[in-house]
Amino acid sequence: MVSKNAIIVFARCGCCMSHVVKRLLLGLGVNPAVHEVEEKDEVGVVRELEFIANDGRKVQFPAVFIGGNLFGGLDRIMATHISGELVHILKQAGALWL
């Protein structure tokens, strides 16, 4: 799933922060894949994602993967969006065409 999508968001069911991530990305013209995680599956999914990320970072929901790599959470999305870097990163990963 992670490698198949240019950008994918993993989030808890009904999480409002993932809604924020989604809306922000949509506002930029990106249509991210979203995978909602049930509470009972959370621990397993986190472990799997940390394995995929493979850089010692902890995975917290909502978690964004861009171009198959763990990008970060809402904090990083916000920071890169404000600094203007996000659009470039998205274009490079093929998540955004314009």
Partner 1 sequence: MDSSSSQYVSTRNIGVYDPTHQFTIWEDHFKSNGDLSLYEPNMKFNNQSEDASFGILGTSIKYDQQANKLTEKMQRRLAQNREAARKSRLKKKAHIQQLESCRLKLVQVEQELDNTRQQGLYIGGGLDSNNLGFAGSANSEITTFKMEYEHWVEEQNRQILELNSALSSHISDTQIEELVNGIMNHYFKLFCMKSDAAKIDVFYVITGMWKTTSEQFFLWIGGFRPSELLKVLVPLIEPLTEQQRFDAYNLEKSCRQAEDALSQGMEKLQGMLTDTVAAGELIEGTYTPHMDTAIERLEALASFVNQADHLRQETLQQMSRILTIRQTARWLLVLGEYFQRLRDLSKVWANRGREPA
Binding residues for partner 1, per CB under 8 A? 14-17, 19-21, 23-24, 27-28, 74-75, 78-79, 81-84
H or E element at residue 24? helix 16-27
Q: Which is nearer to partner 1, 19 or 91 (CB)?
A: 19
Specify whether the CB–CB gap between 43 and 53 falls below 8 A. no
Q: Which is nearer to partner 1, 2 or 10 (CB)?
A: 10
Q: Which is nearer to partner 1, 24 or 52 (CB)?
A: 24
User: Minimum distance between the CB of residue 10 and partner 1, rounded to whole angstroms?
Assistant: 17
State the angle between helix axes of 85-93 and 74-83 in degrees (0 to 180), rounded to the nearest 10: 110
User: Minimum distance between the CB of residue 83 and partner 1, rounded to whole angstroms?
Assistant: 6
Using a 10 angstrom Cβ sphere, with 0-12 exposed, 13-18 middle and 19 or more buried, the burial of residue 46 is middle
Q: Which is nearer to partner 1, 55 or 75 (CB)?
A: 75
User: Minimum distance between the CB of residue 30 and partner 1, rounded to whole angstroms?
Assistant: 12
Rounded Cα distance between 56 and 6, Å, is: 22
